[in-house]
Amino acid sequence: MALIVHKYGGTSMGSTERIKNVAKRVAKWHDAGYQIVVVPSAMSGETNRLIALATEIMPQPDPRELDMIASTGEQVSVGLLAMALLALGKQAVSYTGWQVAIKTDSAFTKARIQSIDDEKVRRDLDAGKIVIVAGFQGVDPNGNIATLGRGGSDTSAVAMAAALKASECLIFTDVDGVYTTDPRVVSDARRMKTVTFEEMLELASLGSKVLQSRSVEFAGNYHVPTRVLSSLTDPMLDLETEANSGTLISFEEDTNMEHAVISGIAFTRNEAKITVLGVPDKPGIAYQILGPISAANIEVDMIIQNQSVEGKTDFTFTVSRGDYVKAMDVLTQHKDELGGASVHGDAKVSKVSVVGVGMRSHVGVASQMFRTLSQESINIQMISTSEIKISVLIDEKYMELAVRALHKTFELDSE
Amino acid sequence: MALIVHKYGGTSMGSTERIKNVAKRVAKWHDAGYQIVVVPSAMSGETNRLIALATEIMPQPDPRELDMIASTGEQVSVGLLAMALLALGKQAVSYTGWQVAIKTDSAFTKARIQSIDDEKVRRDLDAGKIVIVAGFQGVDPNGNIATLGRGGSDTSAVAMAAALKASECLIFTDVDGVYTTDPRVVSDARRMKTVTFEEMLELASLGSKVLQSRSVEFAGNYHVPTRVLSSLTDPMLDLETEANSGTLISFEEDTNMEHAVISGIAFTRNEAKITVLGVPDKPGIAYQILGPISAANIEVDMIIQNQSVEGKTDFTFTVSRGDYVKAMDVLTQHKDELGGASVHGDAKVSKVSVVGVGMRSHVGVASQMFRTLSQESINIQMISTSEIKISVLIDEKYMELAVRALHKTFELDSE
C-alpha cells in the first residue's frame, strides 16, 4: 500500500469550511487505498497574528519564546483537521512536532531538522489511521519547541516523506504547479510537468515562492519525489487525474534531447544595490565592508569587486530592499575604516534569472540572454552565474519587459 | 528565599498591555527577593474562540483533539509573559505542561494531575530565573496533551505550589477576595481575611466562582496556603500590603471563640427541580430513575425520596437549569419503566446555602436559618446538609431576599 504525504498551506486551511474540504480530499486518497500523512500549515493569518502579539510586547522577540508562541498556529490546525476527518468517519490522530518527535537543532525561528522518529506514525498508519503532523515545528535536544522559519511546513512535509520513505510528497497549494515564470507577468507562462531538483532549487532561491528552498534541498538530499499541485480543485475529482497533475520535482535529468535548455525565468523585484567607490585594494577589504553588514543580520546576495586601478577598487553588492536603509546606515557608521571610500546606493533594482539544467550542455545561453536584453535596450548592472542559472541585476522599471523578452527568446511558451 | 506561585486569570492576561502589567507585578515580587513561578491562563476569550472553531468542525468535538487545540491558548500566554519579563530585564523562561512535565491521566478535557516533575523548574529558579508554566494542561502517560477542564489553571497553580512546597500560592483575580456573599446581591457583603479550606470547598462547589473546586481540593490535600487577591490594583503598590491582602485559605481551624458560626452565604440561581410522583417503592427504583439521567451526562445535585405510602413513593432531584429540558426528555423516554409514575418539573428554583466550620460546635444553625426564611414567608422546597453547610431550594424569585435576610441574621456584615 503506497504511502503518500500531503501538505496543505495556510490558504487551504484558512477557515473551518476549507479544512472540511481538505479532509474530503484526504479521505478520498485514503479510500483509494493510500496510507496518508498530512502536514498542514497554520490557518492563514494566524502566524502573523501571533508574531504581532509578540512584537507588541517585545519589538525584537526572544527567539525561544517566539517559537513557543508561533508553533501554536499549526497545533490548532492539526487538531481541527483530525476532527474534520473523524467527522467523516475516518480514523485520524494529530501530533505536534515534539510528539512525533521531529528533532531539530536549537536555532530558534530557523531551526533545522536533525532526525525524525517514525515509530509512532508508522504504528498508526499500520492501524489504518490517517496521521496529521504539525508542520513548521520540532523539538530541540533540550526539549524546547523550535520552528523552522517561514514556509517551514513544506520542509516538515518533505522531511516526513523522507523519514517514512513515502512514494510521493504532494504539496497542495494555491497555484497548480511550477511555471516557466510568473503568469501574472507573462501571460504565456506555461506549467512545467516536471522540473529537476536542481532547477527547482535555483527557482526557489531566486524568488519563485512556490516552495521553500530548504524543503527542496531536503527533497534533493533524500530523493523524495515531490509534486506541487492545486488545492483549489474540487476534492471529489478523479484521483488518477489529480495524481498526475501539477509539477513533479524529479531526480533524474531528462534524457530526452528535446528538453528545453532553459526551464524557467525567475525574478525578485525588491533588490537594492550598494556600491563602495575607491576602496583601498588590500587584503581583507571585502571582510571590512561585509563584516559589519553580516553582523547586522543583513543577507547579501550578489557581490562584485572590480579590477583595481591605482590601488583603489570599487565594491558592489546587493541586499533585499527591506534591508537597504539599515545597510547604508551600517556603512556610514564604519566610514572611517573604509579609507575615504564613498558609498552609493540604488534601491530600485530587480534581479532576473534564467534557470535550466540544459545550460550545462548548451553553450551560448549567456550570450543569447545578453543579446535579448540589449535588443530591448536594458542595461545590465551586475551579473552572477551558477552551473544552471544566470542572474542579472537591472533597473526595476525594465523587470517585466526583461522577463517577457527572455521567456520568448528561450521559447518557454511552447512545450 | 521564599518561593511563591502567582496565578493570573484570563482577564489579567487579556491584552498585551495587561500582560505587561502582570510582568511588572511579578518583577516587583522578584526584586523583593522571592523566587517566583507564574501560572497564567489563556488571554480572555481565546479558549472560547478555539472551542468555537472545534465545534464548527465537529459539534461534539473529539476530546483528545479538542485538548490539542484548547491547550494552545495557555501556550501563547506563557510565551508572551516570558517576553514581557525579558523586556523588563528579568531572566525568564516559559514551559508548557508537557515540558515541565505535569503528568495527568488520560481523561481528556477533564484530566487530573497525577504528578509533577519539579527538577527543571527548580534548576531555573536556583539560577535566578522567573519560571512561567502554562496552566490548564498536562501530558498523559502516552504523551498526549490533556487539559484539566474549565478553570483548570487554578488547579495547575496550586499543584505547582504543592510540588515545589511553595510558601504561598497567590491567585490574582478580578475580585479582591472571597466575600461573605455576592456583593452584587448584598451590599453589606464583607471580604473575609481568612476562610478555612473546608469552607472554601463548600463555597466553591456551591457556586462561588472565585476558585475552581478542584484547586481547593488540591490546596487542602497538600496544605498549600492559597490566597485570592486582586490583580486590578497598581502593580507598583507596596509589597507588604499586597502580601497581606485578599483572602487566605488556611488549614487550621480558627481557635478564636469569636469566630463567626457562619462564614458565608452561597447561592446558585439556575437550578431546576424534577419530581417523579407515585413511583412503586421497590429496591432499585432510584437507579431506574437516575441511571438514564446520569447516562445522558446530566449531573444531579440534591436528591430526596419521601416515605412511601401504600407502596408508592415520590422522588425529587435537582439538575442545573441548562440540563432541565434534556432531563425531562430522558424521563419521558423511560416512562414505561417507571410503572405509571408521573413526572413534574419546575425550572424556576434557586439554591441558597449557609457555610461555616463553626456550625460543627454550634447547634441551632438550621433552626435559625429556617426561622429567618419563614419570617420572610419563603417556602423551603428541599433541604440538604453536610457537616459545615445547609442548603435549601426555594422559588427563584425569593433568592435575593433569602440571601440578604440570612446575611443579616448571621451577622456577616460585621467583623
What pLDDT digit, counting tens, does each position of B126-147 carry? 999 999 999 999 999 999 999 9
Q: What is the pLDDT of residue B256?
A: 52
Best interface-test mutation with B: which of A80, A120, A147 has the largest number of B CBs within 10 A? A80
Chain B positions touching A86 (Cβ under 8 A) are 58, 62, 65
Residue B142, classified by CB atoms within 10 Å of its CB into exposed (0-12), middle (13-18) or buried (19+), is exposed
Strands ordered across the beta sheet of B194-196: B92-95, B130-133, B35-40, B3-8, B168-173, B226-230, B247-250, B194-196
Please check the confidence at residue A258 and state whether its pLDDT lies above 70.
no
Chain-centre distance for alpha carbon B131: 25
Helices (H) and strands (E) in chain A, counts: 14, 18
- Best of A13, A26, A49, A69 to disrupt the B interface (most B CBs within 10 Å) is A69
CA pair distance B152, B108, nearest whole angstrom: 12
Q: How far apart are the C-alpha atoms of A352 and A188, rounded to whole Å?
A: 17
Cell numbers describing residue A53 = 502579539
> What nine digits make up the cell of B122?
527548580
pLDDT tens readout for residues B301-323:
888 887 777 888 888 999 999 99
Closest approach of A171 to chain B, Cα-based (Å): 23
Residue B304's CB: how many other CB atoms inside 10 A? Answer: 16
Closest CA to B268 of B197, B321, B190: B321
- Residue A387's H or E segment, with its range, is none
Kindly report, residue by residue over B86-129, the tens digit of the pLDDT: 999 999 999 999 999 999 999 999 999 999 999 999 999 999 99
pLDDT at position B249 over 80:
yes
Q: Which set of grid coordinates corresponds to residue A107?
A: 536555532
Q: For B68, name the nearest residue in chain A, comparing CA atoms only.
A: A79
Put simply, whether B72 touches A (Cβ < 8 Å) is yes
Question: What residues contact A381, with CB distance under 8 A and at least 6 apart?
Answer: A273, A349, A392, A393, A394, A395
Supply the mean pLDDT for chain A.
Answer: 90
For residues A389-414, give the mean pLDDT: 93
How far, in Å, CA of B136 to CA of B228, rounded?
A: 18
* Phi, psi angle pair for B51, to nearest 5°: -65, -35
Band of residue A254 on the pLDDT scale cut at 50, 70, 90: low
Q: What is the DSSP letter of B360?
A: G
pLDDT digits (tens, 9 = 90+) for A299-310: 898 888 877 778
Separation CA A138–CA A93 (nearest Å): 18
In tens, the pLDDT along A94-122 reads 999 999 999 999 999 999 999 999 999 99
What pLDDT, on a 0 to 100 scale, did the predictor assign at position A253?
59
Handedness of CA B199, B202, B208, B213 (dihedral sign): positive
Choose among A53, A58, A78: nearest Cβ to B86: A58
d(CA B201, CA B195) in angstroms, rounded, equals: 10
pLDDT for the residue numbered B80: 98
CA geometry: angle B378, B381, B382, nearest 5 deg = 125
Confidence of residue B257 (pLDDT cuts 50, 70, 90): very low
Q: Are A137 and A147 in contact (CB under 8 A)?
A: yes
CB contact under 8 A, B69 and A86: no
Nearest CA in chain B to A89: B58
Task: Supply the mean pLDDT for chain B.
Answer: 90
Average pLDDT of the segment spanning A397-402: 95
When CB atoms are compared, the residue of A61, A65, A76 closest to B94 is A65
Please tell me the predicted confidence (pLDDT) of residue B379. 92
Query: Position B98: which residue type?
Result: W
Question: What is the set of domains in chain A, with CATH numbers?
Answer: 3-250 (3.40.1160.10), 264-409 (3.30.2130.10)
Name chain A contacts of B66, Cβ cutoff 8 Å.
79, 83
CA-nearest residue to A93 within chain B is B65
Smallest Cβ distance to A68: which of B64, B94, B98? B94
CA separation for the pair A183, A412 (Å, rounded): 12
Which range in A9-13, B180-184, B234-238 is most confidently predicted, on average pLDDT?
A9-13
Separation between Cα atoms, residue A227 and residue A215, nearest integer Å: 12
In this predicted model, what pLDDT tens digit does every residue of B196-212 receive, in sequence order? 888 888 887 776 677 88
Q: Which of B62, B121, B145 would best serve as a mutation to test chain A binding (most A beta carbons within 10 A)?
A: B62
Residue B68, H or E segment: helix B63-70
Which sign does the torsion angle of CA A182, A186, A190, A192 carry? Answer: negative
Residue B194 has pLDDT above 80, yes or no: yes
